[in-house]
Amino acid sequence: MIDELSKTIKAQLYERVGSPLFSSFAISWACWNYKFILVIISSMGAVEKLNYINTHLFNTPLDYLLNGTLLPTVTALLIIYVYPIPARHVYEYHRKKQQELKKLQHKIDGETVITKEEKWEIIESAERQKNDYESRIEKLIQDNNLLKNRLAHIEQNTPPTSRTEIQKDETTPPFTNDELKILNIIANSTDDGTSITNIIQMTQIGRMYVEHYVRKLEDLNLITRSLDKSHIPKYRLSEKGIEILIAAREGRLNKDHSSDHQVKSVSAIKPVGF
């Protein structure tokens, strides 16, 4: 009961204090009776304060009426009804000047011309990016040519009898077109090898199938796995994998005719050029 009464009183006080009339009257009353407030907060004794107030501040009923009620009320009404009128015009003028300053700023920013130093910095930055791209492309071309030469060298040095053995070896499992495609992608990668993610992006046959094919090729010792600096597995073609890829190009490899992914053409399996 006491808690509810206390909450009700606090709510009423908050409502009165938040009222524009009450706040305006309180400010006005404090301005008209500032001497009264100074006497109250001074170090004078209580009896001395009362005597001073009755003698110098409110010594007549007219002082109580004017300074206590009438003048603060008039000032409060002026604050409520008159003050907003010039305040509105001042606010409109202030906002208008702010908008004009913003328009002027946008106009100046749009007409700003870069200096010669900034121009040369932009040109040098573009040249550096161009040179970097050209060097990267040149390195990729060199890696691709090196791989082509390596495949050609192994093909030239492979005896015809051993090539025939690859075809006649009954233990050589059949390969699907997707598996040969993965071997071809790994063969055309850089010396550091290629990752599962790169193979998925180039084959577009799904992560599950790619991981299955890669495990199969790794079990057959056709590819080797190593970790790069970021501990990401990278796959490279082994010597046996290179021989299998060459045999597939020459049409000497057993093919899985029962698979849904049949090997189409030998000419389709070749290093990717630029």
Look at residue 256 in the predicted model and tell me its pLDDT.
43
Quick one: which H or E segment has residue 60? none
Look at residue 173 in the predicted model and tell me its pLDDT.
57
Q: Answer with the residue of higher pLDDT: 115 or 221.
A: 221
Mean pLDDT of 220-240: 85
Q: Is pLDDT of 58 > 50?
A: yes
What pLDDT band is residue 74 in, cutting at 50, 70 and 90?
A: very high
Measured CA to CA in angstroms, residue 169 lies from 128, 183, 216, 266 at distances of 54, 20, 18, 19
What pLDDT band is residue 269 in, cutting at 50, 70 and 90?
A: very low
Q: Which residues of 240-266 are buried (b: 16+ CB within 10 A; e: fewer)?
A: ebbbbbbbbbeebbbeeeeeebebeee
Mean pLDDT of 110-115: 65
Q: Is pLDDT of 268 > 50?
A: no
Is the whole-model pTM more than 0.95?
no
Q: Is pLDDT of 245 > 60?
A: yes
Task: Give the C-alpha separation, 172 to 197, whole Å.
Answer: 28
Q: Considering the chain, what is the average pLDDT of its residues?
A: 78
**Cβ partners under 8 Å of residue 143, min gap 6:** 190, 191
* Antiparallel, parallel or unpaired: β 233-237 and 223-227: antiparallel
The partner residues of 224 in beta bridges, in order of sequence, read 236
In the chain, what are the domains?
2-97 (no CATH), 141-265 (1.10.10.10)
Percent of the chain with pLDDT over 70: 78
